[in-house]
Structure 1
Amino acid sequence: MTSNEDDKACEIAIIRRKVDWLLSPLRLSHSDLQRVQALMRQEMELGLGKETNARSSVCMLPTYVRATPDGTERGEFLALDLGGTNFRVLVVRVAEDSIRIASEIYIIPTSIVQGTGVADLMEQILPLGFTFSFPCQQLGLDKAVLLNWTKGFNASGCVGKDVVQLLRDAAQRKENFALNVVAVVNDTVGTMMSCGYEDPKCEIGLIVGTGTNACYMEEMRNVGTVEGNDGRMCINMEWGAFGDNGCLDHIFTTFDRLVDEKSINPGKQRFEKLISGMYLGEIVRYILLAMVEKQVLFHGKPCTKLQTKDIFKTRFLSTIEIDGLGLRKVLAILRDLDLHATFEDSVLVREVCQTVSLRAAQLCAAGMAAVVEKMRENRGLDQLVVTVGVDGTLYKMHPHFSQNLQQTLQVLAPKCTVTFLQSEDGSGKGAALVAAVACREARP
């Protein structure tokens, strides 16, 4: 080797050591994931207990959803779906051998997301299922008190109120307009019900999009917060808050803490901030800033635009990680951000994106492993066969998230055969089906 070659090799080795040092806290071992799985199971048990519920970071909220579609539901139902960046209005027609859906999607303006919680509504009177994808204490199928906002929402005058009554009040403000709300449903529950119409084995719902959450069918005998021991009830876990009590502090990195501190709800929804689409781009941004500071990226030159919050979108991760995508495309993304990147920089940025998204999928799998193992033990089975209904842009759009999730889950829960079924029509269809089931059961 020449002297120049020796210097170059030495420089590359130094950069590699710095990169590995920065990324190593995000690279979770099998034992790390097993510990997360055990902690999730522990929090689930606490959340189900009447006396211990307040100590758990996982709320384990009863949904009062006790029955799934049996094929005899008929009629036309309205569904409203409020859960992230969009507001969906659906008319769902349930016939003998089909479900037909007409829908409109509206972008929610910031004036409503962080305003007064007042909105205009579509004029139509039908039995209505309301998908409301925020933590609520459900007091009945059509009564749910908002506990707190998540996913960037902070509309005033809503926390502590019955969201169904708020919806009815909003309807009454429109002349000659009334609502027949028969069920309020979390989007995760709606996803489970929607997929349950297609597959009777679907007893779990999972959302991995702007936020993340899960629900599943729990034995009533284990639900200490509701009277009765017979049958099962769907439990809305609200697992995005897992770790808010500090139990996950050991896996929080410097980058995660920065994202949390600068968020609209510091200290809240900490598991969600490790997994969901609203935050992964920010984690990557902070890692890239640290790499610039360590002189391993962009020649260590200050990157003014990279200092801007949310400038690195989570959708960039999906694009950058597409198999076979040339580094020229990665370079184009970085240069659109005014980052003077080289091909070597592009390779490192892709590695950062892969590390962050892999960890998100693995953590999601650890949480799901706790759920399926609990269901298996509840039922005294040697092997559980179950389907997970799943929705969310991160799960659907990222090129590797779903595969990484499923592979990790298989390792962590080998006694469970888990199939993932994507929700084709979103959580709104599930809300309409909950309303349809409620109307069916109300018939004499």
Structure 2
Amino acid sequence: MGDPSVDDIAVLANPRAGRGRHRGLLPAVLDALATSGRPVRLLTASTGAEAEQACHRAVAEGVSALITIGGDGTVHRALQAVAGTGVPLGVIPAGTGNDFAAAANLPPPPPSRPRGADGTEPVAEPVAEPGAGDPLRPRGVGGAGESGDFLPSSGAGGAEVGARGFPGPRWVGGAEAQGLPGPGWAEGFFRGGRGAVGAGRARGPADGPGSGGGRHAGGRRGSGGARGAGGAAPGVPETALRAAEAIAGALRSGRDHPVDLARVTGAEGGVRWFGTVLAAGFDAVVNERANRMRWPRGPRRYDLAIVLELARLRSRHYRLVLDGVDHRFDGVLVAVGNGPSYGGGMRICPDADLCDGMLDVVTGGPMGRGALARLKPRLRQGTHVRDPRVGVHRAREVVIEADGIAGYADGERIGPLPLRIGCEPGAVRLLR
């Protein structure tokens, strides 16, 4: 696979992101990234935990950037490695949720396009996938989550990714919170040699030393670059290619943008980072229940978890410490937002901003099943904050305490309360 280079762009790809709708995405995106003039390699791993370790190794080796292809769960893995290091992060949104990308305005808006014959502009493709929006749906249980569904790691099979797109995924069951992920992260090693970049090609392992470019392994020629005259490659969403092209341009010009992250410290001192929202209310309880269940499989497990938890819905006693000020209340919802949304556009913290150095905290007081069900549709527009039972606060540091609840952030299990969450301004530098 060759020695790592400090010029490398390391790529973490998740083919099951977006429920596998874009299996032809990877080759075209690699072509676009190769126009940065730097070698491009995919990280090798067989599980989500190994993928996170691969990100840490790549950063320790001194890669010039880490790029994610997927949704919020994929970004979450990469954040654990790049936070606070100065290594830039590129995000190519290809998941069902893409809430971090949306909050960071990724990809950048396209250049102005000519108006149609009727005088209207073409409609821009949304970043989020249709039908994504359920903030409660746990990772690996048929919802907005994606962790655990990755490319099989099988030696030569990884080298063929570029030619065939994403192979059919295999699911091994469970949820990432319980050590789950399923089969494998992208494997392979693709270098865009400097001699090949001018032709818009990336050299894969099938090319011999000094071959100067040619194919991604298995035969997809990149002489036409990531796009042809007709725009995006067939089956590849325009937003993904636009993001890859923007990342390549940012690398060529040395351009990045600092944004905030939230740093979470657990009761035992472990640290995790998140980019979007940490949930510690009813939504987190549903995730925890679904992740413990082994039957039924798929989305029905989540649906059953909602029914079971609604039947036993009760207010819990919370203690919040906001910048040292103690707040105690009984309620059913607590969310801490670095960004405004989770679950594919549910704006639980509608005024949260990735660049303001603050965390937004939204709480929901005591309410019954009917009131909670009526509140949920209002999350899409963020109008739930007008309900008198909903409170909104802002702080640089938040401590959450309650019995019997685990926090979930970016859709991933963080750990049981109490949790201490601090906003770290400019903790990650985004390529855009």
> Normalised by the size of structure 2, how large is the TM-score?
0.25
**Larger Rg belongs to:** 1
